[in-house]
Amino acid sequence: MGEAAVRPDRRYEADAWPRTRRPLPWVIAGLLVMIFLIPFEAVHPKVSIGFSSDLDRFFVIALVATWAMTGLIGRQEAVTRLRSRGWAVGVMAFVFVAVASIAVNVDRITNLDEWATAQKRLAVLLSLVAVFVIVSLTLRVRELRSFAVLIAVLATITGAGTVYEQKVGYNVFYETARTVFSPVAIVDPAPTEISPDPNSPGRPQIVGPTRHGLSVASILGMALPFAVVLAAMETKLRRRLLWGLAACVIFSGALVTQRKSGAVVPAVALLALFVIRPRQLLRLAPYGVVALALGLAMSGGTISSVEELGNTSQGESTKGRTADYPAVVPDLLSNPLLGRGYGTLNSARSDTYRIFDNEYLGQVYQVGALGLIAFLALILTPLLMVRKLLRSDDPVRGPPALAAAAGCLAFAVASALYDILSFSPAPYLFLILAGMCTCAAGVEVPVRRRLRIQPAPVALPADS
């Protein structure tokens, strides 16, 4: 067999984002831009499409439509992408349990008039699943590093904007969105508040492009490993310093939110990197000390996020949250396997809403023990997919897989700190990272060229 039969076509290898005309990678890149730079939860288009018309729905619709059109009219590629067995088990299990929990609680949901909330949450879940499936099936291995660079750059911009917001009280993300989208959408005012009433128990509200400081701290913590891994990969000192500076900015953006997540989530992501690849990342230790000093300097020398770990001044908030735990026991016992129905927690209804500040407890409440197991499978599946790549020397697959896996671990920890699925940016980013893990663990098999073989002549029996 010729060389072309066992190696991918060179044109295929060169056709990788951003040097490509394929539309899907560009739509995925646009989705990442939306997550990091646009307060899409606050942007409401002035059109009605029969269901929730938030900005992210239009991005997902565009992504699905582009994927469908590409499948219908796209040319046959030189490589077949094979994904690891069981790559979608976690997602499929969680969706199945979510739908089942609604089905078995249909009478109660109807009586309590919770259909609107449940349908909206289920629509968000299906949007997240669509993003994960399309990213997993369409992303190419040679595009992983480019997307890693994009995530690090976008997170750096988000971190810088969040630090600026904390300094001057001006939310550049909301104001830019209001200017850009004002002809076609309504943009909610920014919830930024850097000088709250000192007599009130509230804290400053530093939100970046999200609607809560917890959310922006989570996406920055999940993106931090990409800047660190890119710094570790570089052989040139100048580029290593640039990526180190980017990591400083990202870390500072998380710290200035003055939330526990701003310290815990980035710390867990960094700890995961050093535990998995200690020798490769220990050489960054001197840079890390300098980076920590710069990060604190950028955030005004504040370590508010760290201080919050031991802060007891928010006791009333903690008591209000833990007071809900005994109250939910009857709901848990009534249906311990499937809960009271996915998406039925409505914060606008004080008579039924429970504050857990813990997504795992929230899942037990909504979808029971089976839902909790499925949610854990959703998080752990991409990590299992890349377990053999985390210490791999493959320069194409290894580093992006390591950064994406650390980001997924950061999401797992952030889920224990607040109801993370109620805020869309972190779940969207998590499922994109999960798709990158699936892609890294996949195999690209060259399509063998079909050989034109003339059929052998058929011998006819002789006449007797």
pLDDT tens across 352-402, in order? 556 678 899 889 989 999 999 999 999 999 999 999 999 888 889 999 999
pLDDT of residue 440: 94
Cβ partners under 8 Å of residue 79, min gap 6: 8, 9, 12, 444, 445, 446, 447
State in Å, rounded, how far the first CA of the chain is from the last one: 45
d(CA 107, CA 344): 13
d(CA 295, CA 81): 41
What is each CA distance from 175 to 38, 43, 179, 192, 335, in whole angstroms?
10, 11, 6, 11, 46
The residues that bridge with 193 in the sheet, in sequence order, are 205
The residues that bridge with 63 in the sheet, in sequence order, are none
pLDDT of residue 266: 93
pLDDT of residue 448: 60
pLDDT of residue 353: 56
The residues that bridge with 79 in the sheet, in sequence order, are 446
* Contact of 145 with 396, CB cutoff 8 Å: yes
pLDDT below 50 — which residues of the chain? 1-6, 304-305, 312-313, 315-320, 449-456, 458, 460, 464
d(CA 406, CA 225): 6
Residue 218: CB atoms within 10 A of its CB come to 33
Peptide bond into 399 cis (omega under 30): no
pLDDT of residue 4: 39
Q: Taking the model in full, what pTM does it have?
A: 0.88
The residues that bridge with 445 in the sheet, in sequence order, are 80
d(CA 246, CA 33): 17
pLDDT of residue 187: 93
Beta strands at 443-446 and 79-82: parallel, antiparallel or unpaired: antiparallel
Closest CA to 84 of 376, 379, 389, 372: 389
Q: What is the DSSP string of 279-322?
A: HHHHTTHHHHHHHHHHHHHHTTT--HHHHGGG--TTHHHHHHHH
